[in-house]
Structure 1
Amino acid sequence: MSRTSPHEHHEHHEHHEMTEVSRRGLLRTAGGLTAALAVGGSAAALAGTPAGAAPATFTHPGMLHNGGDINRAKVRVAAGDEPWLSGWNRLINNSHSQSTWTPNPQATIYRGSGYPENYGILYNDIAAAYQNALRWNVAGTGANGDCAVRILNAWSNTLTSIQGSADRFLAAGIYGWEFANAAELMRGYPGFDLARFQRMMLNVFYPMNNDFLLHHNGACITNYWANWDLCNMASVMAIGILCDDGAKYDQAVNYFKSGAGNGSIQHAVPFLYPNVGGYDLGQWQESGRDQGHTMMGMGQMGAICEMAWNQGQDLYSYDSRRFFKGAQYVAKYNIGLDVPFTTYTWGSGTTCAQNSQTVISSVSRGQVRPVWALLHFHYNRRLYLDDKYISQMYYNLVAPEGGGGDYGSTSGGYDQLGFGTLMYAK
């Protein structure tokens, strides 16, 4: 496997690696279809949720997709409506979505230099489980449901450990939240051993996610880039939802708001630029590094915000919509326009040796990743905000979104589950 893609992760350069609104009632009554108007209104008029408070009862399905999302895709695809049909065609034409996919479960997954890396097996099987789960949910094809469950059961019966260099924490984070999302879509399916899958998530993934967020592999707190925190936060949140574990859900939300590392919102978007040509922008923490990892950050933080949204919590708008400003900044630069940049300085290693980036990085500029539909359809169609740059990024470069297998064979193409056109278009 190539180790030269700017979107691949190498340990040696991985240094650093609005009011809460209760919307569960809205989602239930509106099926996620017409809640936008109410949510776009006065947040103060809606019931508040205590900071970091998990819902008394978790909504299922309630991670990247709620029941309304699934129903909308089902109805629209059946009717042959665009853009859902184009999104559906991307799904059914992906080799991972075929019901003949054969899982290849491993007892130990390795990621990182100096180890017999096999993590590509895992991310391919996760993509297949998720894509087959989508096909089952949207079209009701039993063969796809059976395939998704076959993959999930095979891994929960086999995987006991994730090992490697520091990159093992990336594997535990990225593949943790993605795997949990596939399982969430198959809740209640005949033959799916949910309890055993939950045990795998609690025993194999969560301890590593928790260890990284607490100790950062023994490094200076600023050593690891934002994505390292974000993927582990997303995994903790997804495991909390999958297992109806309010403490874990709260752990992820609280880290988003005030965590010590670079994944918390004020560290991930360290500099704000009000009214640049009429739009508020926010510099992303990895912008001086490269644009591949920057766009990965859009996908990881987007997943956290959407999972929280589907449990009744609005992290998308937290801290005066700080993430929206960051996403607009990233999109503006990647459609080819100039953005301001403030010198970014951080401490690395175990001694916090000082490093600085003085200019934004053009590496991987304009790279296509399926992370933008989620953001466009939230900020523009649910909240009716002018998301000029996100919108241009989505419609001009990305739409319709595919998923794992459509964006190259290396890990960067599997750092997000994709298919946002199918599942989020409104």
Structure 2
Amino acid sequence: MSGRKLARLLAATLLVAATLPAARPAQAAEFEHPGVLVSRSQLDFVKANLGKEPWKSAWEALKSSPEASLTYTATPRAVVDCGMYGDPDHGCSEEREDANAAYTHALRWYLTKDARYAQKAIQIMDAWSAVISKHTGTNAPLQAGFAGANFSRAAELIKHTYTGWTQAGRFANKLRTVYLPTVIAGAPNHQGNWELIMTDAAIGIAVHLDDRASFNQAVTTWRGRLPAYIYLESDGALPKAPPNSKHNTKAELIEYWHQQTTFVNGLTQETCRDFGHTGWGLAAMSHVAETARHQGVDLYDTAKNRLRHAMEFHANLQLGADAPSWLCGGAPERGLGANLEVGYNALHQRLGYNLPRTETWVKQKRPVGIARFLAWETLTHANNPR
């Protein structure tokens, strides 16, 4: 073909292309707001039942807490430095408490529509967004998870149910630049509760920022950690290793599971560490599934068998059952805490599983207050069908 004919052919092709409608990229489904841990319909259900139990006692506990006071004052820091087991603690406790207080005031705003509580939540979040620049120290990733989880819940509720937050963009930018890069990275070589708490914060921040890529990454991390945290006998002789983890051989996995060599349905990677950290892992796992559910992604269907076995296994021992000699040397360290409300509601109330030991333990611990990344879950999730 001559050069002149080729030029005419290319010109004709370009002309035809120019007359065709431009192809549109596929659009991801929009996020549902508010939709971080709690949804509008869940809170409307709570609001309609505040005069009944168990919500009545939970509501009274919230209202009487220092974190719900209109005199609450935030104590922000530019650099939050957190060491192992709280040593050093340079702003770590204060950041966690302020995140809890922001979420507490956001809940009180929604359930009363008293604007003073929305303004107090904003005041707390604005104080932090004005100065926070980074987290440092050994526990920096976990700290970012603790605070990021409740800050994202508070920001989500206020932004989408209250008008007049002028610095919402500044706070969102701090979630995007100070918290998200840390928590989205995961922690495959740490204890499982670390990565699950970080993922709890990551998915909440992603929803608040309408960040589909980070949301999908958080879901992927959760899917990888689930079978590496809760064992089922169908997994085989050994537990699964976390994706990208250095714990791969039989000896390494046994050490990672705190020298446990017998594996049964519901055992977790941290059972033989202690039940307190195990409870955090189960709570964070449930939080991620709850947020994903509000966004149309059903992670409970994936988690239901592992989660129900884990809750019943640990609740049974927590309630006084004798530990078998093969479990943690016959002396597991109990102290499960009030960590099962969200998971119990999802599996029992919505999916219909009979979980008698979990039910007994959950009801003993009601009403759930606040602790690190957990806040008012009897109020928000007990017997909640939404």
Structure 2 length-normalised TM:
0.79
Counting only pairs closer than 5 Å after superposition, residues 240-389 of structure 1 correspond to structure 2 as: 240-258=206-224, 264-272=225-233, 281-318=265-302, 321-338=305-322, 358-359=328-329, 362-363=332-333, 365-369=334-338, 371-389=339-357
Alignment partner of 1:402 is 2:369: yes
Distance 1:136 1:361 in 2: 45
Change (3 A) 1:73 1:320: closer
3-state SS, counterpart of residue 159 of structure 1: coil
Query: Number of paired residues?
Result: 327
Asked if 1:231 corresponds to 2:171, the answer is no
Contact conserved, 2:230 with 2:310, CA < 8 A, in 1? Answer: yes
The equivalent of 2:98 in structure 1 is 125
Q: State yes or no: 1:202 paired with 2:176.
A: yes
Q: Does 1:154 align with 2:161?
A: no
CA separation of 1:92 and 1:423: change in aligned 2, threshold 3 A: farther
Using the TM superposition, give the Cα deviation of residue 104 of structure 1 relative to its aligned residue in structure 2, in angstroms: 1.4
Is this contact kept in 2: 1:173–1:234, CA < 8 A?
yes
**More helix as a share of residues:** 2
Counterpart for residue 378 of structure 2: 420
Q: Which protein, 1 or 2, shows the higher relative CO under an 8 Å CA cutoff with sep ≥ 6?
A: 1
User: What corresponds to 2:252 in structure 1?
Assistant: none
- Partner in structure 2 of residue 88 of structure 1: 59
Are the aligned partners of 1:287 and 1:361 in contact in 2 as well (CA < 8 Å)?
Answer: no
Query: Which structure's CA Rg is the greater one?
Result: 2
What amino acid is the match of 2:281?
G
Structure 1 unmatched runs, 5+: 1-53, 259-263, 275-279, 344-357, 404-412
Pair 249,190 (structure 1): closer, same or farther in 2 beyond 3 Å: same
1:104 & 1:236 partners in 2: Cα distance? Answer: 24
Q: Report the Cα offset of residue 89 of structure 1.
A: 0.6
Q: Secondary structure at the residue paired with 1:317?
A: helix
Number of the residue aligned with 1:72: 45
Q: 2:30 pairs with 57, 67, 78, which one?
A: 57
Once the two structures are superposed, the pairs formed by residues 31-46 of structure 1 within 5 Å of their partners are none
Deviation at 1:236, TM superposition (A): 1.6
Q: CA deviation at 1:81?
A: 1.7
Q: Whole-Å Cα distance in 2 between the matches of residues 359 and 110 of structure 1?
A: 36
Provide the C-alpha distance between the structure 2 equivalents of 1:131 and 1:148, rounded to a whole number of angstroms: 8
- Retained in 2: the 8 A contact 1:272–1:283? no
Q: Displacement, 1:273?
A: 8.5
In the alignment, the residues of structure 2 paired with residue 82 and residue 144 of structure 1 have an alpha-carbon distance, to the nearest angstrom, of: 24
> Are the counterparts in 2 of residues 83 and 422 from structure 1 also a CA contact under 8 Å?
no
CA contact (8 A) 1:399 1:421 kept: no
Residue 176 of structure 1 aligns with which residue? 148
Measure the CA separation in 2 of the matches of 1:324 and 1:91. 28
Local SS of the residue matching 1:282 = coil
How far residue 154 of structure 1 moved from its aligned partner, in angstroms, is 1.3
**1:143 corresponds to:** 116
Unaligned runs of 5+ in 2: 1-26, 236-263
**Cα RMSD after superposing both structures:** 2.4
Deviation readout 1:364-408 (Å, 9 max, x if unpaired): x24432x2221222111111110112111111x2012222xxxxx
SS in 1 for 2:287: helix
1:107 corresponds to? 78
CA, structure 1 residues 184+339, in 2 after alignment: closer, same or farther (shift >3 Å)? Answer: farther
SS of equivalent residue, structure 1 residue 283: coil
Q: Identity of aligned pairs, percent? A: 27
